[in-house]
Structure 1
């Protein structure tokens, strides 16, 4: 591929910097949308998202700093591009990493009632997510029980990020957020998920791997930090609910169902951990007003 005279400056995530700045290699276009280009570079779960200013910034994204023209990326699924040496070379443009950005991992909340702020949300997948978390908490799950639960979720549903995978991402993040969650629980769940990554899409496999390490798309990370901070002295009762509600709306706006499915996984996991701690969720007067996925319009940042 010949070099292009047009260059778009971009910021590369620390989690993809080695890939982007490494030796040039071939990448394959998985999907191309107006605000995002997904490239498979290496193994099945090795995906580099190239996103615009309006795109959903995933934890491994190469984020373009300029406003892109409306002509698109100039590639379609199946096309080959070159990634490495600090750039992504497309047919009509070179995306150059000129700086690095650092994604924030999931925090650890101090309050065991952290899940109470999601208690009133009518979320799909909440019950199966709680079942997965309860198996982990049991300490001695029946043989193959966790593997069976995970096997039923990985790759379940249509699209680039099937619903079952989004649910598992939520559970993995919840295990890091709740005070009763542990790295041992995360590792146990990840051991059940990892062998099944080839049963789902490359993009979804990459997001599962990131969630296992505590990373997620920026709106999800913002929600996790607000949940972890809620109830602290720095928040008033009114301000606390408002800021969590705003963050929940941002997550629900991801994709057609991806945000709601991830929230279902997160809430179900937090339900199980909160019950294990002997705590009860806050009353309805202290929980956020439950937004619904259908009340939100699709956004240009959404995953397909």
Structure 2
């Protein structure tokens, strides 16, 4: 709940900061630029932190990004009092907007999508496939296949990063889905290879989107995506929680959720195919070895 602070003519809100953004508030006060403003969220680019250096400030009923500072209440009824381009202060445990202070009172720990210790076969059920952006499944699969094969991903990343309009362009949402799918499949090296190519291009997309790409590279996403990934990893692809989580993901933004699902579908399909090919190659090697070591005195 907000607290009156008449001495400073401001209203103070209590909030919980993600452990992933806690250092931004722990340091001394520094300038920050307002990047975007919505009824339930304001996105700040904080000086002195590597790109993207984004701090999302969101209300309790807004989409919870994995690095967000989350108010313990709904958004201020009077609004945030800022617009894109405005300068504000972040640090010493608080975010200071005109007439509004948001003070950190605790730290919350985001949960990453699960990762396998070795490559596993994670199926993507029809309920998820049906909600994905059809046009992006193929490109997503191609990105994942390239990463799994150890191919040069520069050209593919070049045409995908920042592709499409909006605060989070479609191409970036797809890449987030692919990164999470590779992690979910235990293909950490492939995910790191893809992120290595994408990271070089994040300056060409929006600050918010660059932030979400970096979070996905570390295995973090909004809660509905984590719930969906956890259900798939747990072999509950036919359970009701999968459909519910997939529908919730699909509802993110205008196309962001559907695009992320396309990345997840394409990435899982590529990882599944890659695993099958490796299994067949291993079987062929075993069979060839058995024939090569057979008793030379025995003929067919």
The interval holding the TM-score normalised by the smaller chain is 0.7 to 0.9
Q: Is the alpha carbon distance of 1:67 and 1:122 closer, same or farther for their aligned partners in structure 2, counting shifts above 3 Å?
A: closer
Report the Cα offset of residue 111 of structure 1.
5.0
Among residues 263, 285, 291, which one is paired with 1:265 in the alignment?
Answer: 263
User: Partners of 1:261 and 1:193 in 2: how far apart?
Assistant: 17
Q: Give the aligned partner of residue 296 of structure 2.
A: none
Q: Give the aligned partner of residue 113 of structure 1.
A: 122
Q: Are the equivalent residues in 1 in contact too, given 2:60–2:72 (CA < 8 A)?
A: yes
Structure whose CA Rg is larger = 2
User: Partners of 1:269 and 1:77 in 2: how far apart?
Assistant: 35
Task: Indicate the larger mover: 247-256 or 38-47.
Answer: 38-47
Q: Give the aligned partner of residue 133 of structure 1.
A: 144
Q: Are the equivalent residues in 2 in contact too, given 1:22–1:84 (CA < 8 A)?
A: yes
Q: Give the aligned partner of residue 12 of structure 2.
A: 7
Among residues 86, 110, 115, which one is paired with 1:79 in the alignment?
Answer: 86
TM-score after normalising by structure 2: 0.84
3-state SS, counterpart of residue 54 of structure 1: coil
TM-score after normalising by structure 1: 0.83
Q: Give the aligned partner of residue 250 of structure 2.
A: 252
Q: Give the aligned partner of residue 227 of structure 1.
A: 232
User: Partners of 2:8 and 2:53 in 1: how far apart?
Assistant: 24
3-state SS, counterpart of residue 105 of structure 1: coil
Q: Are the equivalent residues in 2 in contact too, given 1:49–1:60 (CA < 8 A)?
A: yes
Q: Are the equivalent residues in 2 in contact too, given 1:40–1:46 (CA < 8 A)?
A: yes
Gaps of 5+ in 1: 232-236, 280-304
3-state SS, counterpart of residue 180 of structure 2: helix
Asked if 1:26 corresponds to 2:47, the answer is: no
Asked if 1:60 corresponds to 2:67, the answer is: yes
Q: Are the equivalent residues in 2 in contact too, given 1:3–1:89 (CA < 8 A)?
A: no
User: Partners of 1:3 and 1:171 in 2: how far apart?
Assistant: 47
User: Partners of 2:164 and 2:204 in 1: how far apart?
Assistant: 12
Asked if 1:159 corresponds to 2:166, the answer is: yes
Q: Give the aligned partner of residue 242 of structure 1.
A: 240
User: Partners of 1:53 and 1:122 in 2: how far apart?
Assistant: 27
Gaps of 5+ in 2: 1-6, 278-300
Q: Is the alpha carbon distance of 1:147 and 1:96 closer, same or farther for their aligned partners in structure 2, counting shifts above 3 Å?
A: same
User: Partners of 1:95 and 1:50 in 2: how far apart?
Assistant: 9
User: Partners of 2:8 and 2:24 in 1: how far apart?
Assistant: 19
3-state SS, counterpart of residue 63 of structure 1: strand
Asked if 1:277 corresponds to 2:275, the answer is: yes
Among residues 30, 44, 53, which one is paired with 1:39 in the alignment?
Answer: 44
User: Partners of 1:132 and 1:87 in 2: how far apart?
Assistant: 40
Encode CA deviations 1:103-150: one digit per residue, 9 max, x unaligned. 0011025851333453455533110000011112223x2xxx410000
3-state SS, counterpart of residue 6 of structure 1: strand
Query: Once superposed, which parts of structure 1, at least 4 consecutive aligned residues long, lie more than 4 Å away?
Result: 119-122
Q: Are the equivalent residues in 2 in contact too, given 1:169–1:212 (CA < 8 A)?
A: yes
Among residues 200, 207, 230, which one is paired with 1:202 in the alignment?
Answer: 207
| Larger RCO, structure (CA 8 Å, separation 6 or more) | 1
Among residues 129, 133, 137, which one is paired with 1:123 in the alignment?
Answer: 133
Q: Are the equivalent residues in 1 in contact too, given 2:31–2:46 (CA < 8 A)?
A: yes
Corresponding residue pairs, total: 265
3-state SS, counterpart of residue 239 of structure 2: helix
Encode CA deviations 1:201-222: one digit per residue, 9 max, x unaligned. 0110111111111111121111
Alignment of 1:138-217 (within 5 A): 138-139=149-150, 141=151, 145-179=152-186, 181=187, 183-217=188-222
